[in-house]
Structure formats: structure tokens, C-alpha cells
């Protein structure tokens, strides 16, 4: 099984995603250069975190027009699985692969910390190894992570069970909805209508080794292997 990891010039989590794939589930990973129209026969595409083209305009606004994204969009439309993390989530929204947008954090500050998120749906390519209600401890690291959409979209996402992760409680309270960035309905991750594109602000690839504070993100990769594994 081959994971294609897109490298935009300002990607900086491509390496982390690569290591997570290779070191944890032992699968093959290749980098996909933003200027190429070549997905290298990847079975899964990861849009990693970072600052694609500097993101001075609006996170992901330029990336959606890059050569590689035309192929990624076509791949996703054919049902190919795409894991879009952080900046990748922003790009996926800009590219129309996912509904809604990610605005500047409510605090107007960049936030990096471990947060707790709750698995809201395990009926996906990316979360089938979790139970609904599982609490994961994963890092976030973003300035623009406030998920925003109109009520109709939010209602549809919830109605369809497409909210996959929600920020969960402070340190002691896992039941209270709470988001560090002001995300609407505490949404941390969603899938598209066909379930093959997951966008999430937290970084599962940074939570695959307990030495670094958590391995709660490991099952995201194991889920993909279980569902897509070739």
C-alpha cells in the first residue's frame, strides 16, 4: 500500500506524515512534488500541514490552483482516499473537497498544545479502529483552525454523521463540547459526502509514539490500512 504525501514548498509536516506511515504501519510512502502532475500510483493521498505557499493571502487559497492539486481533486472525485491534516484541511476546503472554511482562531493567536478530541464516527476509512466516544490526546498547532460553515451545512454534516472528531472537554470533563480555536460545534474533523476525504485540524501523525506524549493517533493509520490495505 502506497501513501503519497504532497509536498508544497511550504509544507512542514510532510516529513512527520512520512515517518508516521513508514515507522508505525510499515507501509510505503512517497513524496509528491507540487509542480508535478504525478501521484505515483498512490493508494492514499495525504495533504500535510504547513504553510503551502506561505499562506499570506489565505491558508490554502493558492495551493488549490497548484498542478498537483488538479490530480488530487480528480483522485478524490474518483473516490480515492485523502487524509487532509491541518493546512491540508484548509486546502481541501479551498479546493471544494470539503464544505466550510477554517478561519483565524477565536483568540487571534496561534495555538500549539495537546488537546482531547472525541471520535464521533467510526464508520469511516480513517477511524474504523476506534470506538465512537473514544477520547484521543493529540496535538494541534495552527493559527487558522476555527471551523466555520452555515447552519444548513452544519446540520447536514451532523445529520449525515460526517462530523468525525470533536474537541472534547477540558482536562477533567470529556463530555462538555469545547474548542480551543472557537470552531463551530467544536468540530475538529469532517468527511465529505462520499466518506473518502477526511479533513482534521489536530495532527494524528504527531501522536504515534508515547515517548512524545501520545500514540492515540496511531489508529488513524491502522484504520486506513485495515480498510484500504492492498
Partner 1 sequence: MQRLHSVEPRPGDPAITPALIAEHGLTVDEFDKLLAMLGREPTFTELGIVSALWSEHCSYKHSRPLLRTLPTDAPYVLQGPGENAGVISIGDGLAIAFKIESHNHPSAVEPYQGAATGVGGILRDVFTMGARPIAMLNSLRFGSLDSARVRYLFAGVVKGIGDYGNCVGIPTVAGEVAFDPSYEGNPLVNAMCVGLLHENELIRAVAQGVGNPIIAVGARTGRDGINGASFASEDLSAESEAKRPRVQVGDPFTEKLLLEASLELIRSGAIVAIQDMGAAGLTSSSAEMAARGDVGVTIDVTKVPVREEGMTPYEILLSESQERMLVVAKQGRENEVTAILEKWDLTAAVIGEVIAEPVYRVTEGDRVVAEFPGIRLVTDCPVYTPEAYESAEVVRLRAIDVSQVAELPEERDPLWTLKELLSSPTIAAKTWVHRQYDTTVRTNTVIGPGGDAAVVRIRGTERALAMKTDCNGRYVYLDPRVGAQIAVCEAARNVACTGGRPMAITNNLNFGNPKRPEVYFQLREAVRGMGEACRALGTPVTGGNVSLYNENPTGAVYPTPVVGMVGLIDSIAHITRSHFQEEHDVIVLLGEPDRNIGGSEYLSRIHGMVAGPPPACDLDGERALIDALVEAIQGGVVRSAHDCSDGGLAVALAECCIMDRGAQRGATVDLKHWRELPARALLFGEAQGRVVISTNMPDTVLSIAKNHGVPGRIIGQVGALDAPLHITTVANELSAPLAKLDEAYHEAIPRIMSRAAVVSP
Min separation Cβ 78 and partner 1, Å = 29
For 126, phi and psi rounded to 5 degrees?
Answer: -105, -10
Q: Please work out the total of residues on this chain that contact partner 1, with binding judged by CB under 8 A.
A: 32
Q: Are 223 and 127 in contact (CB under 8 A)?
A: yes
Instruction: Output the CA–CA distances (angstroms, integers) from residue 15 to 68, 98, 99, 125, in the order listed.
Output: 18, 24, 27, 22
Q: Are 213 and 202 in contact (CB under 8 A)?
A: no
Min separation Cβ 110 and partner 1, Å = 5
Q: According to CB under 8 A, which one of 80, 88, 143, 202 is a site residue for partner 1?
A: 143
Q: Which residues are catalytic?
A: 86, 203, 205
Min separation Cβ 52 and partner 1, Å = 9
SS3 177: strand
Question: Does 112 sit near partner 1 (CB under 8 A)?
Answer: yes
- Nearest CB to partner 1, comparing residues 211 and 230: 211
Query: CA 8 from chain center: how many Å?
Result: 16
- Nearest CB to partner 1, comparing residues 115 and 164: 115
Binding map of partner 1 across residues 152-191, x = CB under 8 A, - = no contact:
-------------------x--------------------
Q: Are 103 and 146 in contact (CB under 8 A)?
A: yes
Quote the CA–CA distance of 200 and 169 in Å, as a whole number. Answer: 18
**Helix-then-strand count for the chain, H and E:** 5, 11
Q: Give the footprint of partner 1 on this chain (CB under 8 A).
A: 9-10, 12-13, 15-16, 19-20, 49-51, 53-56, 109-113, 139, 141, 143, 171, 203, 205-206, 208-209, 211-213
Amino acid at each position: 500500500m502506497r501513501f503519497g504525501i504532497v509536498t508544497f514548498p511550504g509544507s512542514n509536516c510532510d516529513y512527520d506524515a512520512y515517518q508516521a506511515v513508514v515507522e508505525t504501519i510499515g507501509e510505503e510512502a512517497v513524496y509528491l512534488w507540487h509542480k508535478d502532475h504525478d501521484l505515483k500510483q498512490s493508494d492514499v493521498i495525504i495533504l500535510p500541514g504547513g504553510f503551502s505557499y506561505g499562506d499570506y493571502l489565505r491558508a490554502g487559497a493558492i495551493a488549490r490552483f497548484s498542478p498537483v492539486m488538479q490530480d488530487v481533486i480528480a483522485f478524490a472525485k474518483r473516490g480515492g482516499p485523502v487524509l487532509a491534516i491541518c493546512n491540508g484541511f484548509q486546502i481541501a476546503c479551498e479546493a471544494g473537497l470539503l464544505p466550510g472554511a477554517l478561519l483565524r482562531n477565536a483568540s487571534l493567536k496561534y495555538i500549539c498544545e495537546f488537546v482531547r478530541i472525541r471520535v464521533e464516527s467510526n464508520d469511516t476509512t480513517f477511524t474504523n479502529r476506534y470506538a465512537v466516544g473514544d477520547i484521543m490526546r493529540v496535538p494541534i498547532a495552527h493559527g487558522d483552525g476555527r471551523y466555520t460553515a452555515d447552519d444548513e451545512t452544519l446540520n447536514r454534516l451532523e445529520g449525515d454523521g460526517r462530523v468525525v472528531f470533536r474537541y472534547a472537554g477540558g482536562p477533567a470533563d470529556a463530555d462538555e463540547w469545547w474548542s480551543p480555536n472557537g470552531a463551530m460545534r467544536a468540530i475538529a474533523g469532517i468527511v465529505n459526502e462520499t466518506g473518502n476525504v477526511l479533513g482534521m485540524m489536530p495532527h494524528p501523525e504527531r501522536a504515534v509514539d508515547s515517548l512524545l506524549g501520545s500514540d492515540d493517533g496511531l489508529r488513524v493509520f491502522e484504520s486506513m490500512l485495515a480498510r484500504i490495505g492492498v
